[in-house]
Amino acid sequence: MNSQALVKIRTGKPFIGTWLSIGSPVIAELASASGFDWLLFDLEHGAHSEAVLMNNLQAIKGSAAAAIVRVGAPHPDLILRALDWGSAGIMVPHVESAAEAASCLQAMHYPPRGRRGISRSARVYEYGLRAMPAAADLPAPALFAQIETLRAVENVNDIAAVEGVDVLFVGPADLAFDLSVRRIGDDGAYDDCLDKVAAAAHAAGKQAGILVRSLENIPVLRSRGFTHFAVESDIGILRSRYQQVLKATRELCG
């Protein structure tokens, strides 16, 4: 676990990452070498699986990038393995209440705060070559709680107040969809939700983050108070570039 990265996660300075969905250690290594502050390994919708997660985490060893693993659901066994393998933090989708956030933290922390099991030979402790820190010195893993529904926005102040929640991270596609099916999906409602998330984060001394598909949106999001960005994804970057190359080539070929 990168302790310096954990410090950066908890500051209000811009924290720039990218979304990794393909599951390739080569792409993870390239992204970390490119200088991103953090990388999101997506086990919810991406092609990542537990079988390839370890290899991806190994590929970025020694880099300054913080590894954040998005689990598909807050299953304690998966959270435990991601942290034991070296993830600096966990992103949990569809957190809708303070109780749900607290339950996630139970899985992430050792006793007495939580129920995470102890293995001194886990990768995070160099397979037993590095002593496990004393309980008082253990770095707390970061929790990115995803705000993706109207119910989550309604409870966002309570979620932000939970000790151990570091980042309120908006899932824009899910939030926009949830608003639309409730027939309140106009731009004003969505923007109002963004403002509520950012305000709740700042009031609680936490950070507000969001996935960004277009770089043009960043200045507005910064003005709203967002600091933690996942910019594009490996699939999106490849898809866009492939389309650009093919279009240009066809035009040149006549």
Q: b/e string for 28-48 if b means 16 or more Cβ within 10 A? A: bbebbeeebbbbbbbbbebeb
| Non-local CB neighbours of 83 within 8 Å, separated by 6+ positions | 1, 90, 108, 116, 124, 141
Judge contact between 124 and 1, C-beta under 8 A. yes
Nearest 5 degrees, angle CA 1-CA 167-CA 117? Answer: 45
Q: Is it the case that residue 253 has pLDDT exceeding 90?
A: yes
Judge contact between 31 and 231, C-beta under 8 A. no
pTM of the full predicted structure?
Answer: 0.95
What is the gyration radius of the CA atoms in the chain, in angstroms? 19
| pLDDT single digits (tens) 154-169 | 999 999 999 999 999 9
Which pLDDT score, from 0 to 100, does residue 140 have? 94
Strands (E), 45-170: 66-70, 89-92, 142-147, 165-170
Which pLDDT score, from 0 to 100, does residue 1 have? 60
Name which of 66, 116, 67, 74 is nearest 92 in CA terms: 74
Name which of 249, 87, 32 is nearest 79 in CA terms: 87
| Per-residue pLDDT band at 182 (split at 50, 70, 90) | confident
| pLDDT single digits (tens) 28-57 | 999 999 999 999 999 999 998 888 999 999
| pLDDT single digits (tens) 67-125 | 999 999 999 999 999 999 999 999 999 999 999 999 999 999 999 999 999 999 999 99
Q: Which two tokens stand for residue 60?
A: 């970025």
Task: Give the structural domain span for 213.
Answer: 3-253
Judge contact between 94 and 146, C-beta under 8 A. yes
Q: What is the CATH number of the domain that holds 119?
A: 3.20.20.60
- Does a cis peptide bond (omega within 30 degrees of 0) precede residue 112? yes
Active centre residues (catalytic): 45
Cβ neighbours of 243 (radius 10 Å): 10
Q: Which two tokens stand for residue 155?
A: 């409870």
Q: Provide the domain count of the chain.
A: 1
Q: Is it the case that residue 185 has pLDDT exceeding 70?
A: no
Strands (E), the chain: 15-20, 38-42, 66-70, 89-92, 142-147, 165-170, 207-212, 228-233
Average pLDDT, the chain: 95
